[in-house]
Amino acid sequence: MPAKQTPKVLTPAALGYRMPAEWEPQRATWLAWPHNRSDWPGKFAPIPYVYAEIVRHLAKSSRVELIVNDVKALDDARKLLTKANVLPALEDRIVFHPWPTNRGWLRDSGPIFVKDKTGRVAVTDWHFNAWAKYNDWELDDQLPVHVAAHRGYGSFLAEVEGPGEWRQMVLEGGSIDVNGRGLLLTTEECLLSDVQQRNPGMSREEIEASLGYMLGVKKVLWLESGIVGDDTHGHVDDIARFVAPRTVLAATERDPEDANHKILQNNLKTLRRMTDLQGRKLEVVPLPMPSPVVFNGQRVPASYANFYISNRTVLVPTFDDPNDLTALNTIQRVLPKHSIVPIYCGDLIWGLGAIHCMTQQEPL
């Protein structure tokens, strides 16, 4: 991959590290207990119970590393998890970390882990600027540092050369999806638009190079844009997800009158032209969209593609929609060895994110 900038230090890829696929063995799932009520204005009350249900299912197949805002938040979380029958039954599977955060979307603010052939795990530390949307992000931006120190992992700063100086590159975990074999899916809307103020001035080639030397990526697959209602400016985890080295689940909208129809049809056509490193076409499996979810006059980014793959479990967002069953069956078909668990996200999605947005996997 061509690049105008050269990293100042030996890179993860040069040392043999790569970002594993989500379905590869995991040591733990990282979550942050919800506390920022402004993320769910007028609808915060049910959110901790949704988190409790997610923690309960995840703790059955792997450890849960649960970040809480402070000691009081830890006590509140323990009380609610006890009320929800998660504790004390799964006590030995859940570890609490009293680290302050701005909000709880760990997919984007948490560390992106990489692993080498010997099994060593490290953290890649990208800059998080709250989707170029909020002014309070400094606490969330420190999470990779906290996790690396707690684990004793090596940490790689994602640095790129800017005008006259080196700076930390902005990247959110929800904007990328990898197959663990050198392929990475993303969108032009998110990573290439200067308007979003993530990495102004960086070219496509420079972004591809950075993803290559930080995550071991050899080929970046670019889709055009994300779904309506996504305030992250086109995160790929709402539209297309790897479920095997050459298999992608792609969100589709059958209603030609729906605003997502043209967007997702264009992405589907693009995916069907894409190939892996050996030049073989990807297997593209259509995944339906739920009917539009609107709250207080605002359409929110409801999508079944925002599922999360744990060791033996796939947590899938559902919306009390006729397409729920079709989506669950489709995901079961491509991941036959996993238990498919529906999680009602009609309330959670008012925060403009769902299950994948709130989770971050740590490889084993």
Tell me the catalytic residues: 357
Burial profile 53-92: b = 16 or more Cβ within 10 angstroms, e = fewer = bbbbbbbbbbbbbbbbbeeebbebbbebbeeeebbeebee
Tokens of 316: 């899938």
Q: 3-class secondary structure for 110-162?
A: CCEEEECCCCCEEEEECECCHHHHCCCCHHHHCHHHHHHHHHCCEEEECEEEE
Query: 97: which residues sit within 8 A by CB, 6+ positions away?
Result: 65, 66, 67, 68, 146, 150
| Alpha carbon of residue 40 to chain centroid | 19
User: How far, CA to CA in Å, does 72 sit from each of 30, 55, 84, 106?
Assistant: 20, 19, 18, 20
Query: Contact 55/95 with Cβ under 8 angstroms?
Result: no
Tokens of 38: 């402004």
- Half-sphere exposure of residue 342: CA atoms within 13 angstroms, side-chain side: 14
Beta bridge partners of 309: 314
